[in-house]
Structure 1
Amino acid sequence: MNEYTRENCIRDTKEHIAQVREFMMEFTKELTERALFHDKSKLESPELEVFTEYTPKLKGSTYGSDEYKLYLEKMGVALKHHYANNSHHPEHYPRGIADMNLFDVVEMFCDWHAATRRHDDGNLIKSIRFNMERFKYSHDLKRIFENTVAKLYKYTILFGKTDGVEGGFYANSVEELHMKIDAEKDLTDFEKQDIKYGFFREFKDTDYVTKNICWDNCFDVYWIVQ
């Protein structure tokens, strides 16, 4: 057996890098194609007429609420047609998310992100946690989604309370972060103040920090600054 030299290692590593680069470019090509044709079926019948009526109604509702679910039910045939023609929806597949591929999942995440901009109280963290129950995906996948949110924004806060209330905030500026915290209906004023001032005073000058905090076993916060 010939000696495996430094030059051999460099050659093999460069070959591996080239292969990974090729596969990633193929991946991005597929995502680009999906980006260009995302939700194209909404621009034609039978979807266009129904989405024209219900888009403003959905915008004014809270994602996952009874009102939201009622609107989806009333969208009936159009929504069924949309799911059948768009594989980034778990409803497209017999086994939901379990049948999806990575391309579907990435497009689905981007779809959720954009959809939060269309709701008056849209929140991607809450959508991720609500959809975990709705689509029965794992805690690991939920954390992957949340970690992705943290990669997209400078500040990300995840919270959970022993009464079962969960949520989070994400923003690229302190001002925006404070506005979102102030608007949160599931936190007391005391909890909001502690998140806004207590933790931020401690971490505001840190380039990156991840920290778990628990107060009296009743309020857990996962704080990320990038």
Structure 2
Amino acid sequence: MSDSAPVTLKHIARVGELLDMMATELSRRGVVHDASKFDPIEKGPLDEMQRLVDKEGPAPYGTEEYRRRTALLGPMLEHHYAHNSHHPEHYGSRGIAGMDLFDLIEMWADWKAASERGAESAMNLSYSIEKHGIPPMLADVLRNTADRLGWAVK
């Protein structure tokens, strides 16, 4: 009589190993996330931006004021995008399509954390979807993930 249990247990163990590999990569990314912001090329402009935020308050993501302030960062952002693959801009014209799952997950966590800095805690997902040309199926996956995690989105 054949017993499928050993094959099933081996499969379960292997999936666990692969998920652990992925979790390790995600944890590594959490440790080094945005480390380039401490490079003088980035830190100086970010310090200036923080002074503006301290003086005028935060600009909600996606607003005209947000876009104006982002434009003030210019070369700093170019450096940041070049050194951080979790930004679609890192991949030039390919954008999101150039990313792997790890980039995408780190981007997702970055968007959530950034949304918590301002007065609104809801992620402006609609703006990001439009800004980055995220295809409908991936947009649905992102919305479904937010729902699963209980994250507010707009």
Q: TM-score, normalised by structure 2?
A: 0.90
Classify 1:45/1:139 alpha carbon distance in 2 versus 1 (closer, same or farther; 3 Å).
same
Q: State the Cα deviation string for residues 91-117 of structure 1 (Å, max 9, x = none).
A: 000200000000000000000000011
Question: Is residue 2:147 matched to residue 1:140?
Answer: no
- Please, what is the CA RMSD of the aligned residues? 1.8
Q: Is the 8 A contact 1:63 1:122 kept in 2?
A: no
**What amino acid maps onto 1:148 in structure 2?**
T
Classify 1:55/1:112 alpha carbon distance in 2 versus 1 (closer, same or farther; 3 Å).
farther
Residue range with higher mean Cα deviation, 115-124 or 74-83: 115-124
- Return the index of the structure with the highest Cα Rg: 1
**What's the offset of the Cα at 1:16?**
0.8
| 4+ residue runs over 3 A deviation | 55-59
Aligned partner of 1:67 in structure 2 is: 65
Aligned partner of 2:89 in structure 1 is: 91
More strand by share: 1
1:19 aligned residue (9, 14, 18): 14
The 1-side partners of 2:42 and 2:85 are apart by 16
The 1-side partners of 2:74 and 2:58 are apart by 19
> Greater relative contact order (Cα 8 A, min sep 6): structure 1 or 2?
2
**What's the offset of the Cα at 1:148?**
1.4
**Percent identity at matched positions?**
35
Q: Is the 8 A contact 1:62 1:122 kept in 2?
A: no
More helix by share: 2
**What's the offset of the Cα at 1:119?**
1.6
Q: Is the 8 A contact 1:42 1:48 kept in 2?
A: yes
Q: Is the 8 A contact 1:116 1:123 kept in 2?
A: yes
Aligned partner of 2:109 in structure 1 is: 110
Q: State the Cα deviation string for residues 170-202 of structure 1 (Å, max 9, x = none).
A: xxxxxxxxxxxxxxxxxxxxxxxxxxxxxxxxx
Q: TM-score, normalised by structure 1?
A: 0.62
